[in-house]
């Protein structure tokens, strides 16, 4: 069982293509496209599965049955129906909006959330781009998603959207800092920014959730804020600013926002798994199964947060980040540094 990995499958596919084409360079190019296709497939599948999962989790927590019409008793085809509905909706363009910026915003938002999938180690050897500054690149890319929100908010020519856009900037910037510092603890222990090394380090010793519990909690909180989910969903805050930057979008444009939201949800779950839960490692089952089990568990935890908590207020949220999370992350980093120093000198 241990031998069945996605990496091995990729190797096998590569040798097959090499056999057909007979050129190393061309094969590599083809393999890159295969990897790209796989990443996109993961995102799209995730969007479908996670919308269904979210509706069911939400319904079950709210003592409801959830979707149960389309596709049998359990409503399995509900996401497909939702998608068709979104595709067939009218594309409403608000009066007085900044057309170009307005149209670019949903597309640009989708790009960084899809891009970071290239960095995730799904299984042994299954990394699209195994960069040696993986963590750094990841944070750099994911912080790009601030801009499209602001663009959408600004270009919509709506006050609600504008407030939402401004809130996004404040929120995402202030939660970026503690997030980075919480991840630095992990990086310090591993001594590498390569994602594969981080996973490998956890396989050798223990999962980092044991070594870095505070960093884990900080990361979970900041990740919730970064993906704009309750209790930090102030960006789309439907009870105050209606839907924030999304308020004026409809149809497929809105669907792209939606897609990006679920891509983000999945990616923070994958990151939590990679950084703190030992990645693909686990006994008995193949790595890829372990990986997805852990990821889905994290997805459930994030959904669980969302359907339990009320949302915070903007000032509370920002002060929580700057006054609680950031000092905590720094202290955590200091103790990790001391710990790592002591450990190394003892070795």
Partner 1 sequence: MAGTETYTLNMGPQHPSTHGVLRVQLELDGENIISATPIMGYLHRGVEKMLENRTYVQGVPYTDRLDYVSSMNNNFGYCRAVEELAGIEVPERAEYIRVIVAELNRIASHLVFIGSLAIDLGASTGMLYTFRDREEILDLFNLVCGARMTFHYIRIGGVNRDVQPEFIEKTYKFLEHVPEFMEEYKKILLGNEIFMSRLKGISKLSQETALSHNMTGPNIRATGIPYDIRKVDGYSVYPKFDFNVVTGKNGDNWDRFNVRYNEIFESAKIVKQALDGLPEGPFMAKVPKVLRPPKGEVFSRTEGTRGELGFYIVSDGSTKPYRVHIRRPSFVNMQGLNDMCKGYLIGDSVAAFSAIDPLMGEVDC
Partner 2 sequence: MFGKGLITGMRVTLKHFFGKKATFCYPEEKLPMPERFRGGHLKLDYKKCIACQLCSMACPNGAIELKVVTDAQRKRHLTSYIHHMGRCMYCDLCIENCALHSLHWDQNYEISAYHREAFDYEVLTDSDREYLKQVMEAAAANPAPPIVPKKPVPPKPAEAAKPEKEGEKAEEKTETEGKPNE
Site residues (vs partner 1, CB under 8 A): 58, 61-64, 159-160, 163, 230-231, 233-234, 237-242, 307-316
Partner touching 240 among partner 2, partner 1, none, CB below 5 to 8 Å by kind: partner 1
Q: How many CB atoms lie within 10 A of CB 70?
A: 15
Contact call for residue 331 and partner 2 (CB under 8 A): no
Distance CA 288, CA 170 (A): 37
Cα-based distances in Å from 175 to 169, 253, 277, 282: 10, 27, 22, 31
Contact call for residue 335 and partner 2 (CB under 8 A): no
Contact 53, 307 (CB under 8 A): no
Distance CA 60, CA 65 (A): 6
Q: Is the CB of 88 or the CB of 239 nearer to partner 1?
A: 239
Q: Is the CB of 9 or the CB of 209 nearer to partner 2?
A: 209
Cis ω for the linkage preceding 231 (within 30 of 0): yes
Here the tokens at position 286 are 């193949």
User: What's the closest the beta carbon of residue 318 comes to partner 1, in angstroms?
Assistant: 11
Q: Is the CB of 143 or the CB of 250 nearer to partner 1?
A: 250
| Contact set for partner 2, span 68-127 (CB under 8 A) | 68
User: What's the closest the beta carbon of residue 307 comes to partner 2, in angstroms?
Assistant: 6
Q: Which stretch binds partner 2 (CB under 8 A): 18-26, 62-70, 130-138, 284-292?
A: 62-70
User: What's the closest the beta carbon of residue 141 comes to partner 2, in angstroms?
Assistant: 31
Binding mask 287-316 for partner 2 (x = CB under 8 A): -----------------xx-xxx-------
The CA-CA-CA angle for residues 35, 295, 177, to 5°, reads: 90
Contact call for residue 347 and partner 2 (CB under 8 A): no
Contact 292, 269 (CB under 8 A): no
Q: Is the CB of 214 or the CB of 242 nearer to partner 1?
A: 242
Burial environment of residue 228 by CB neighbours within 10 A (0 to 12, 13 to 18, 19 or more): buried
Distance CA 179, CA 175 (A): 6
Contact call for residue 322 and partner 2 (CB under 8 A): no
Q: Is the CB of 142 or the CB of 158 nearer to partner 1?
A: 158
Contact 222, 172 (CB under 8 A): no
User: What's the closest the beta carbon of residue 288 comes to partner 2, in angstroms?
Assistant: 27
User: What's the closest the beta carbon of residue 304 comes to partner 2, in angstroms?
Assistant: 6
Distance CA 112, CA 107 (A): 10
User: What's the closest the beta carbon of residue 99 comes to partner 1, in angstroms?
Assistant: 23
Distance CA 288, CA 228 (A): 28
For the chain, the first-to-last Cα distance in angstroms comes to 34
Contact call for residue 57 and partner 2 (CB under 8 A): yes
Partner touching 65 among partner 2, partner 1, none, CB below 5 to 8 Å by kind: partner 2
Binding positions for partner 2, rule: CB under 8 A = 57, 59-65, 68, 304-305, 307-309
């Amino acid at each position: 069982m241990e031998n069945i990995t996605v990496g091995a499958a990729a190797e096998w596919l590569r040798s097959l293509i090499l056999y057909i084409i007979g050129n190393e360079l061309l094969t590599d190019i083809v393999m890159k496209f295969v990897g790209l296709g796989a990443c996109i497939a993961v995102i799209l599948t995730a969007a479908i599965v996670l919308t269904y999962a979210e509706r069911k989790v939400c319904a079950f927590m709210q003592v409801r049955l959830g979707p149960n019409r389309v596709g049998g008793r359990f409503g399995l085809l509900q996401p497909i129906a939702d998608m068709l509905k979104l595709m067939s909706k009218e594309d409403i363009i608000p009066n007085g909006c900044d057309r170009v910026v307005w149209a670019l915003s949903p597309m640009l938002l989708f790009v960084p959330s899809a891009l970071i999938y290239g960095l995730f180690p799904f299984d042994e050897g299954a990394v699209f781009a195994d960069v040696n500054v993986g963590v750094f690149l990841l944070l750099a890319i994911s912080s790009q998603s601030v801009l499209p929100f602001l663009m959408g908010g600004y270009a919509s020519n709506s006050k609600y959207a504008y407030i939402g856009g401004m809130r996004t900037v404040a929120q995402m910037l202030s939660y970026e800092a503690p997030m980075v510092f919480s991840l630095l603890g992990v990086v310090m222990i591993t001594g590498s920014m390569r994602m594969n090394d981080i996973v490998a380090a956890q396989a050798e010793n223990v999962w980092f959730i044991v070594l870095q519990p505070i960093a884990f909690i900080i990361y979970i909180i900041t990740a919730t804020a970064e993906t704009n989910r309750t209790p930090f969903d102030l960006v789309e805050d439907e009870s105050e600013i209606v839907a924030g930057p999304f308020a004026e979008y409809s149809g497929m444009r809105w669907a792209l926002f939606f897609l990006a939201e679920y891509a983000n949800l999945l990616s923070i779950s994958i990151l939590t798994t990679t950084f703190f839960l030992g990645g693909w490692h686990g006994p008995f089952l193949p790595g890829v199964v372990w990986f997805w089990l852990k990821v889905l568990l994290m997805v459930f935890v994030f959904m669980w947060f969302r359907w339990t908590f009320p949302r915070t207020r903007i000032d509370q949220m920002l002060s929580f980040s700057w006054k609680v999370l950031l000092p905590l992350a720094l202290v955590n980093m200091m103790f990790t540094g001391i710990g790592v120093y002591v450990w190394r000198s003892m070795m």
